[in-house]
Amino acid sequence: MTSAVLPSSHPLVDGRTAASPLVTALRGGKPAHRPIWFMRQAGRSLPEYMEARAGTGMLEACLTPGLASEITLQPVRRYGVDAAIFFSDIVVPMKIAGVDVDIKAGVGPVFGRPIRTMADIEALPDLGVAGDRGVFDAGLDAVRAAVRLTVDELGPTPLIGFAGAPFTLAAYMVDGRPSRDHLGARELMHTSPEVWQALVSWTARAAGLFLRAQVVAGASAVQLFDSWAGSLSQADYVRHCAGGSRAALTAVADMDIPRIHFAANAGHLLNDLGAAGATALGVDYRTPLDEAARLTGGAYALQGNIDPAMLAAPIDALTRHVQDVLDRGSEARGHVVNLGHGMPPHANPDVVKRIVDLVHERG
């Protein structure tokens, strides 16, 4: 049953995507074939992406509706995957809000200044509420437009909305740039827990409003992506971070759509990631899918988990690996094939297409 919150033109309401292999699997069903898509399928591994984005900065591309839509569609055309993932970046909500952030080539997200005190947090822009036509909501119009353009082209293929998880967003903001061990963020959560929680609350609200805008505009599922949660102990994740993810996912929970929660290197957190409001769990390549199904008691559909390194392996070895993922994934309540992390930038598109065809034939 689809929530009445969604507009009548939404693909889940008008029937375009409701019975798609992706939505069926994410809801615990068994579609005619195992659905497959890839994290970071739109991007540097595709020559058409490099051509489309030539001369355009990353964040500018994300906020240019026609370009963001075109990039989102490219891997669907080339590979025949069962879902598109909205082309964006985890810091786009911050950029829309007016935070001083840019993506530096070879570095990643870089903030004008780190956020480490309560005064810093109080100086962050007011995000308002969904639909209030404040600065943040109005800034989301470019995102809504890109989603609508994309959904119109996709037809029965679902679009997955995307946002970075509050812990990863907060960690970047504390350090001001990417960090190997996120020590600054981990120190702040212990030395100034009230400051840390205030920052997580702000990033959770940004992520939740960002996800909601994509869903109302036409996304048929969402994924909350936590790049760095695996660096935390289970106790620290539950105490200091899970509430942020729960708040972000709750922002779309009233719309009855599949909600995927993925964190890298986080096999020890699977049940906690689920308890934060997910209906499906992304599993990275370190945890076998049958083990993940046992650990979570079959409570969630699972997504994953081809090892990205195997894309460079001999074809026989890659075929055996994909078959193993299919076999283990069959133990899950529902299974969506994906990589166990993002697409490598040097991935061979011909190999990626071979994987899609293999999954459709054998899955």
Residues identified as active-site: 40, 44, 53, 89, 172
Residue whose structure tokens are 């308890």: 275
CB 230 within 8 A of CB 264: yes
Q: Does residue 123 contact residue 100 with C-beta atoms inside 8 Å?
A: no
Token pair, residue 307, equals: 């090892």
- Give the phi and the psi of residue 104 in degrees, each rounded to 5: -95, 130
Amino acid at 196: W
User: Using omega within 30 degrees of 0 as the cis cutoff, is the peptide bond preceding 305 cis?
Assistant: yes
Q: What is the DSSP letter of 308?
A: G
Per the CB < 8 A criterion, the answer to whether 164 and 200 are in contact is: no
Q: How far apart are CA 255 and CA 31, in angstroms?
A: 22
Structure tokens at 56: 């355009």
Q: Say if residues 195 and 121 touch (Cβ distance below 8 Å).
A: yes
Query: Given the structure tokens 């505009």, which residue do they identify?
Result: 217
Name 161's bridge partners. 222
Reading the block at residue 109, the tokens are 């997200």
Residue 220 CA to residue 258 CA, distance in Å, equals 8
Residues 6+ apart with CB under 8 A from 338: 36, 37, 38, 39, 282, 303, 304, 305, 306
Query: DSSP assignment of 158-222, as one string?
Result: PEEEEEE-HHHHHHHHHHSS--SS-HHHHHHHHH-HHHHHHHHHHHHHHHHHHHHHHHHHT-SEE
Alpha-carbon distance of 49 to 78, in angstroms, equals 11
CA distance linking residue 213 with residue 200, whole number of Å? 20
